[in-house]
Structure 1
Amino acid sequence: MFSIRTVNTGLTLIAVAKAMSAAAGSSDPPGLCLPGNTVGVCPDSPPRLLRLPAVPGYEQHRVNDLLLHSPSTGSVHRCGSSEMAGSGNAHIVFFPGDIQNFQQEMALQPDAAPWQSWSLERVALILGRRFPSHHIWIIRASQMYLHKFSCYQNFVESNLFGAPEHSSDYGGLRHLRALLGHGMELANLPDPLPPLGSATSFPPGFSLTIVAFSKGCVVLNQMVYELPAAKTDPELAPFLECVTDMYWLDGGHPGGSETWVTDKRALAELARSGVALHAHVTPYEVRDPMRAWVGNEHKRFTHTLEELGAQLSQKLHFEDEPASIDNHFRIIQEF
């Protein structure tokens, strides 16, 4: 089994990632934020955006590009209708959908260019305004087939188009845990997560909210299937205890089933977790007559969780408007 701490050369994964980051950033003009640098800080606009390429997870072949939006000092964030002071170590992870990429790359692709308003950088800024006291982590899909089909192969077994094959032991949660720890270290954040296998306790005040949009929801679904085993894993159980909220935003993928988790045993474990669950949808996904299973699965997901006593909030956005891909994206602003 490959060790998280070493690669074949004997160098640490973090050392390799730092070297790759430095090399990648050396050819970029300074100060560019939108479109974003390959690596770099937006120096004139707090909070900052920092792009981290090829951040390692817990295995050598699992790497993802990250974009970090750092919070303003002393800010306050809104959570539903309440406001509370940030702890300074509150984090949000966001998994984008199809066609969403770094602004610079979207501008070069004819199919993606019209949707640059929803680039990774733009979404980071949107979420940064919504949660100003949080560190916002945008996780880029490891593969973009034909520059538009996001594939989260590092988190869940998937085909080229990103349709998932869920299992209980793929390691998606372990990859997220390692990815965040390495990202925090590369970004030089205070109190980063300790490495997997370390006896060091979690940093004080660490909390995590996971938000997934469209195709990105396959990652959240995979995490649900992994919950039972993860809760008994001494390396993952403390991490799960820090997850406060999980948001599904208009989930969808090209497969013919499992757009939403409907397995009652898996959902029972999710309900028992005590995590606040949020399901936000639009007619684009749940009222498409050509993909009726999406709406049916969404109903089973929410009804089952309600029956199990889960802490669940749900909303159908743009209910009185025609289904459109524009409103599908707008849910990122409206949830």
Structure 2
Amino acid sequence: MQNFSEIPEDTTELLSRRFPDSFVWLIPASRMHLQKFSCYDNFVTSNLFGAPKHSSNGHAFEHLLALLLHGGRQASQILKERLPTQLTLVGFSKGCVVLNQLVYELSTAQQQPELAALMHCITDLFWLDGGHPGGSNTWVTAEEPLKELVACGATIHVHVSPYQVQDPRRAWIGREQRRFVRSLHLLGGLVQEKVHFEDDEPSLEKHFRILEEF
């Protein structure tokens, strides 16, 4: 999941190199506001500028399942219309709101067999320099959803740059990111964290370099 207006042409190639033995789906935002603000309304209710309104009663898992099944039909000779036995989810920049919404839905997804089966396929989740135009909730900090995330057993990968977590104009992003990681550690989660380019000046170019470095 990635910001539609910012997708480099070689993103799929970068991800294919990062996951050489995997099938790669690149899911853009469903709409753009003012050709600048990515909005993932198909995964999470958002305001005009794409700031999410997270809820445990959303439809992100249902939409993800539909996309995977459709992709499977499009490549049925390879996937034979089956869910993958292992699923890695990667969110970059504003696309991380999709991962956050999935975390909020973990408890309700377990109550539906098809969604629970999909949930148990997830082995790794990558948050890559998450950010969005809202003034809060860039990272999941509520304890109950984080407990569910730890309980699912997936490995959580957190890759950030100073562009997001050291911007004084958006200081909440860094605070929430640190709380996210700290809470997962305290809950016994499998967490891997890396701050990229931490000795460099924050820049949009380094923000995009995360896609090459993670």
TM-score of the superposed pair, with normalisation by structure 1: 0.62
Aligned pair count?
214
Structure 1 residue runs without a partner (length 5+): 1-94, 102-117, 195-201
Q: Could you say what the CA RMSD is over the residues aligned between the two structures, in angstroms?
A: 1.3
Structure 1 range deviating more: 232-241 or 215-224: 232-241
**Within 2, Cα distance between the matches of 1:192 and 1:288?**
46
**Within 1, Cα distance between the matches of 2:74 and 2:35?**
27
Secondary structure at the residue paired with 1:294?
Answer: helix
Q: Assess if the C-alpha contact under 8 Å between 2:4 and 2:28 holds in 1.
A: no
Report deviation, 1:184. Answer: 1.6
Q: 1:320 aligns with which of 191, 199, 204?
A: 199
**Within 1, Cα distance between the matches of 2:185 and 2:91?**
21
**Within 2, Cα distance between the matches of 1:126 and 1:234?**
34
Secondary structure at the residue paired with 1:235?
Answer: helix
Please tell me the residue identity of whatever aligns with 2:141.
T
What's the counterpart of residue 291 of structure 1?
Answer: 170
Deviations 1:138-174 (A, max 9, x none): 0011101222221100000012221100001111011
Secondary structure at the residue paired with 2:61?
Answer: helix
- Does residue 306 of the first structure (1) align with residue 212 of the second (2)? no
User: When you count helix as a share of all residues, which structure comes out higher?
Assistant: 2
Q: 2:130 aligns with which of 234, 240, 251?
A: 251
Q: 2:88 aligns with which of 201, 209, 216?
A: 209
**Within 1, Cα distance between the matches of 2:37 and 2:133?**
9
Structure 2 residue runs without a partner (length 5+): none
Q: Assess if the C-alpha contact under 8 Å between 1:181 and 1:192 holds in 2.
A: no
> Relative to 1, partners in 2 of residues 1:189 and 1:259: Cα closer, same or farther, differing over 3 Å?
farther
Deviations 1:221-272 (A, max 9, x none): 0000000011121111111111110000000000000000000111011011
Q: 2:68 aligns with which of 180, 200, 203?
A: 180
- Does residue 144 of the first structure (1) align with residue 32 of the second (2)? yes
Q: Assess if the C-alpha contact under 8 Å between 2:162 and 2:198 holds in 1.
A: yes
What's the counterpart of residue 2 of structure 2?
Answer: 96
> Relative to 1, partners in 2 of residues 1:188 and 1:284: Cα closer, same or farther, differing over 3 Å?
same
Deviations 1:62-114 (A, max 9, x none): xxxxxxxxxxxxxxxxxxxxxxxxxxxxxxxxx1125235xxxxxxxxxxxxx
Structure with larger Rg:
1
- Does residue 166 of the first structure (1) align with residue 54 of the second (2)? yes
What's the counterpart of residue 212 of structure 2?
Answer: 333
Deviations 1:32-70 (A, max 9, x none): xxxxxxxxxxxxxxxxxxxxxxxxxxxxxxxxxxxxxxx
What's the counterpart of residue 132 of structure 1?
Answer: 20
**Within 2, Cα distance between the matches of 1:286 and 1:270?**
22
TM-score of the superposed pair, with normalisation by structure 2: 0.96
Q: Assess if the C-alpha contact under 8 Å between 1:145 and 1:151 holds in 2.
A: yes
Please tell me the residue identity of whatever aligns with 2:160.
V
Deviations 1:261-297 (A, max 9, x none): 0001110110111001001100000000011100000
Mapping for residues 1-335 of structure 1, pairs under 5 Å: 95-97=1-3, 99-101=5-7, 118-119=8-9, 122-193=10-81, 206-335=85-214
Report deviation, 1:187. Answer: 3.0
Secondary structure at the residue paired with 2:26?
Answer: strand
What's the counterpart of residue 9 of structure 1?
Answer: none
Q: Assess if the C-alpha contact under 8 Å between 1:97 and 1:216 holds in 2.
A: yes
**Within 1, Cα distance between the matches of 2:177 and 2:139?**
6
